[in-house]
Amino acid sequence: MTKRYETVFILTPVLSADQVKETVVKFKKSLKDGGAKLMHEEDWGLKKLAYPIQKKSTGFYHLFEYEAEGDLIANMEINLKRDEKVMRFLTVSLDKHAIAFVESRKNRTKKD
């Protein structure tokens, strides 16, 4: 039974722009291979962290919002944990209120 999930992960700032893009594409591909449907993607770019992680004070933030089977999440997180370019990640399952919120946010960005 597929559920909606949202993953936010932070990449180390020492990467060049194309390394960032390449890792993002790598995770997007691993999602697609796992049979997930990527609904929404956000790139917040370089942001200042509230506290230093691994001695770094900034990081590239990326957000994936997708619909997937439950078991895909486990090996997705293994990939994220194994990749040393990813400093931190958080996967959240979306309940109906969250989905309504994301939908309203999505067509709001379409409108303006």
Partner 1 sequence: MAENTSEIRYLTPPNIELAREKYCRFQKNRIKYIDYKDEKFLLQFVNEQGKLLPRRITGTSLKYQRKVAQAVKRARHLALMPYVADMLK
Q: Is 101 in the site for partner 1 (CB under 8 A)?
A: yes
Q: Contact, 53 vs 59, CB < 8 A?
A: yes
Q: Is 98 in the site for partner 1 (CB under 8 A)?
A: yes
Q: Is 27 in the site for partner 1 (CB under 8 A)?
A: no
Q: Is 84 in the site for partner 1 (CB under 8 A)?
A: no
User: If you count them, how many residues does the chain have?
Assistant: 112
In the DSSP assignment, the letter for residue 108 is H
Among 4, 10, 60, 66, binds partner 1 (CB under 8 A): 10
Give Rg (Cα) of the chain: 14
DSSP strand E in 1-112: where?
3-11, 37-53, 56-68, 86-93
What is the x/- site pattern for partner 1, positions 28-67, by CB under 8 A?
---------------------xxx-x-----x-x-x----
Strand partners, 58: 48
Residues near partner 1, by CB under 8 A:
8, 10, 49-51, 53, 59, 61, 63, 88, 90, 92, 97-98, 100-101
